[in-house]
Amino acid sequence: MIRSLVVREPLGGVHGQVGTKSRVVLQMGKQKFECTETITRREPADLRGIPKGSVVHFDREIVGEGMWSAVRDRLTEAGPEMTLWVSESEYRFSKLLMRLVGLLMPGAFRKQSLQHMQDFKAFAEQGKDVREAKD
């Protein structure tokens, strides 16, 4: 559902639940990047009948060669048929090349995160799969 996603396959756990691990392959340009995503927080665990004013938390950790990332999503009701979605991403790099990219091009990570959010919004609101879209 996001344009850079090539493969997402479960490795273990119950889909969408804390502790679930998935193999994820992303492609940016001609480069493919494989990582493991682990769901680290999902509150409330049961998403049916969420009381008004509640905040839904959905966090995950993504680990790949030379890189660690945490994504923390918070969703709150913003009005009838409206949701406020706040997403925070944290990146850490252990390889020199990735550290340099992170220092010299921090805007690229923000741009990619925003694109992923827009892609998911199109999927959630319109059922649109943007994987075939051109960047």
Give me 57's structure tokens: 């938390």
Is the distance from CB of 8 to CB of 24 less than 8 angstroms? yes
Report domain extents, the chain: 5-126
Give me 111's structure tokens: 């741009």
pLDDT of residue 111: 82
- The predicted-structure confidence for 55-104, as pLDDT tens digits, reads as follows 999 999 999 998 899 999 999 988 888 889 999 989 898 887 777 777 77
pTM: 0.81
- The predicted-structure confidence for 25-59, as pLDDT tens digits, reads as follows 988 778 888 999 999 999 998 888 888 889 999 99
State the burial class of residue 115 (Cβ atoms within 10 Å of its Cβ: 0-12, 13-18, 19+).
middle
Expressed in angstroms, the distance from the first to the final Cα of the chain is 14
